[in-house]
């Protein structure tokens, strides 16, 4: 089994602390799955957020990998939160949303920051963690013609080298444009054991994924060859929410349309729109969307662990 090592040049000047469990796993080449913390602080209501965070870490462990939830705490990028640190992210007031562009400011301020998918990809790549799990990817917003709002998740996919395992992109986004953006940026989008591009807590967006792979070893090999191409970035691996947890697409779409109208009338703009729409869908589904969100977090974490195991079993060099 290959030994995965931290890339010190990528961490140069960046204060990083690995938990003992994550550090040992990386040193011995065990499979590790990186997890964001923004969903704990900003994505789910309390107390569901902490229950979901622990369920996700349990799903990783039950599927043979080590969880590495990240956050910014006391001026350090922490990879592998302790139980107390997880509680802090889930209960503290004023936790900053830390994307890749905001890591520096969050570190300098000494504030607690919850890492987004983009920031988690940055830290995972630098630490040598090749698999990141999340529920729904950010993407191109529906009002992009006016707002030019495109998630930094998509940009970071071109800069980091990870396999991002998710249930597609958030339903509130313009999904055809999101797929088109990733194609333009040479980001492979691979459906794992399914055909369609899922839409977060909806099993299918109605759009086909460009590539389907059913075997974890084949997928790991696809990543290995992809990263052999000069300048290649990340891969997006999609796996839909389980049918018994999924929401009806028409119900969700109606809630989004109503939420968009309300956001416009209340002059909700910019980054606040995403959370506003997510809460609108939650109200329209009597809280079922939050339950679905928690369920899909655990399911993608389990799939990511399976892929991480396949990757760790390959005798690949740390330079990949």
Q: Which residues contribute to the annotated binding site for Mn(2+)?
A: 149
- Beta partners for 66? 32
Q: Which residue among 57, 85, 170, 306 is the active-site one?
A: 170
* Known binding residues for substrate: 97, 151-153
Q: Which residue among 36, 57, 85, 306 is the active-site one?
A: 36
Distance CA 264, CA 251 (A): 20
User: For this structure, is 177 an active site residue?
Assistant: no
Distance CA 136, CA 296 (A): 9
User: For this structure, is 275 an active site residue?
Assistant: no
Active site residues: 36, 170
């Amino acid at each position: 089994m290959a030994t995965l090592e931290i890339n010190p040049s990528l961490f140069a000047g960046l204060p990083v602390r690995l938990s003992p469990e994550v550090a040992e796993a990386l040193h011995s080449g065990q499979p590790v799955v990186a997890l964001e913390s923004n969903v704990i602080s900003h994505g789910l209501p309390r107390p569901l957020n902490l229950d979901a965070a622990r369920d996700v870490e349990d799903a990783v462990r039950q599927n043979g990998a080590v969880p590495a939830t990240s956050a910014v705490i006391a001026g350090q990028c922490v990879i592998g939160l302790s139980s107390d640190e997880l509680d802090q992210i889930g209960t503290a007031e004023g936790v900053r949303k830390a994307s890749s562009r905001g890591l520096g400011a969050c570190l300098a301020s000494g504030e607690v920051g919850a890492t987004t998918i983009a920031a988690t990809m940055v830290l995972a790549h630098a630490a040598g963690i090749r698999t990141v799990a999340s529920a729904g990817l950010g993407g191109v917003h529906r009002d992009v013609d006016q707002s030019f709002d495109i998630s930094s998740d998509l940009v970071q996919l071109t800069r980091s080298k990870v396999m991002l395992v998710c249930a597609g992109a958030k339903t509130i986004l313009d999904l055809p444009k999101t797929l088109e953006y990733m194609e333009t940026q040479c980001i492979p989008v691979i459906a794992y054991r399914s055909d369609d591009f899922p839409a977060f807590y909806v099993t299918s967006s109605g759009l086909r994924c460009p590539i389907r792979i059913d075997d974890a070893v084949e997928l790991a090999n696809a990543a290995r060859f992809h990263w052999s191409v000069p300048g290649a970035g990340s891969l997006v691996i999609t796996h839909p929410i389980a049918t018994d947890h999924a929401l009806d697409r028409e119900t969700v779409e109606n809630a989004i349309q109503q939420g968009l109208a309300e956001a416009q009338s209340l002059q909700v703009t910019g980054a606040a729109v995403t959370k506003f729409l997510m809460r609108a869908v939650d109200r329209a589904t009597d809280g079922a969307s939050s339950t679905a969100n928690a369920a899909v977090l655990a399911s993608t974490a389990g799939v990511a662990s399976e892929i991480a195991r396949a990757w760790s079993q390959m005798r690949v060099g740390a330079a990949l």
